[in-house]
Structure 1
Amino acid sequence: MTITANGQVTIPQALRERYHLRPGTEVDFIALEDGLQIVPQKPHHHAPQVVASWLSKAQGCASTPLNTDQLMAMTRGEEW
């Protein structure tokens, strides 16, 4: 493999298929004494729980004297 002027290399298709490396896969480079190791980053499986927790805390915290029609008119720049 050759490194381009932009620091890029092409991972051979056989290796991409074997290790399930798809476009957009994030990888880490690990420095070893005699070279580098490239490993896919572990997916962040906790992200959905973080979002669900945030949403549960945010639910019902907005209050306004306006009704839905008034809010929609306001976002459209209409008189209400």
Structure 2
Amino acid sequence: MRVTEKGQVTIPKNVRDRLNIGPGSEVDFVMSDEGVMLVKTGAGRDEFESFEEWAKSVEGKLDTGGMTTDEYMEWLRGPRDDLDRR
């Protein structure tokens, strides 16, 4: 995402839909050493005090279908042309 001169970014539609964010919704940013997480504030929002707390809540929930990490990353990103595959 690109930040405008006014410091604004557009929240992608799939994120807005998933968090049920619409005009008038309020959001906040939870910061940690690892990055920033956008959260919807107000009624019905999951309460996470930190990025680490959120990360722990989703730990182990990704099903890679038995693929290794390397196999999953290649499936996700496509093959790497810059690696020597002997």
Q: TM-score, normalised by structure 2?
A: 0.46
The structure whose RCO (Cα within 8 Å, separation 6+) is larger is 2
Q: TM-score, normalised by structure 1?
A: 0.49
